[in-house]
């Protein structure tokens, strides 16, 4: 995820991450915002599936 997130907040197609062997079932922790959206994190890099 670090490779694709050079500018802070980035939107990327999930197929691009999956092709680079990203596993969305592995995460280290999560955070839920006030809107109820759940961000999953792999160490310091978080993602939100839209």
pLDDT at residue 29, rounded to an integer: 96
- Tens of pLDDT, residue by residue over 14-50, are 888 889 888 889 999 999 999 999 998 989 888 888 8
pLDDT at residue 12, rounded to an integer: 81
Which position has the token pair 């062997």? 21
The closest of 24, 19, 27 to 50, measured between CA atoms, is: 24
Q: How confident is the model at residue 10 (pLDDT cuts 50, 70, 90)?
A: confident
State how far the Cα of 13 lies from the Cα of 31, in Å rounded to an integer. Answer: 21
pLDDT at residue 7, rounded to an integer: 75
Identify the residue with better confidence: 48 or 6: 48
pLDDT at residue 28, rounded to an integer: 95
Residue 37, burial from CB neighbour count under 10 angstroms (0-12, 13-18, 19+): exposed
């Amino acid at each position: 995820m670090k490779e694709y997130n050079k500018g802070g907040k980035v939107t990327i197609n999930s197929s691009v991450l999956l092709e680079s062997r990203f596993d969305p079932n592995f995460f280290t922790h999560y955070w839920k915002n006030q809107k109820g959206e759940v961000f999953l994190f792999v160490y310091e890099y978080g993602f939100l599936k839209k």
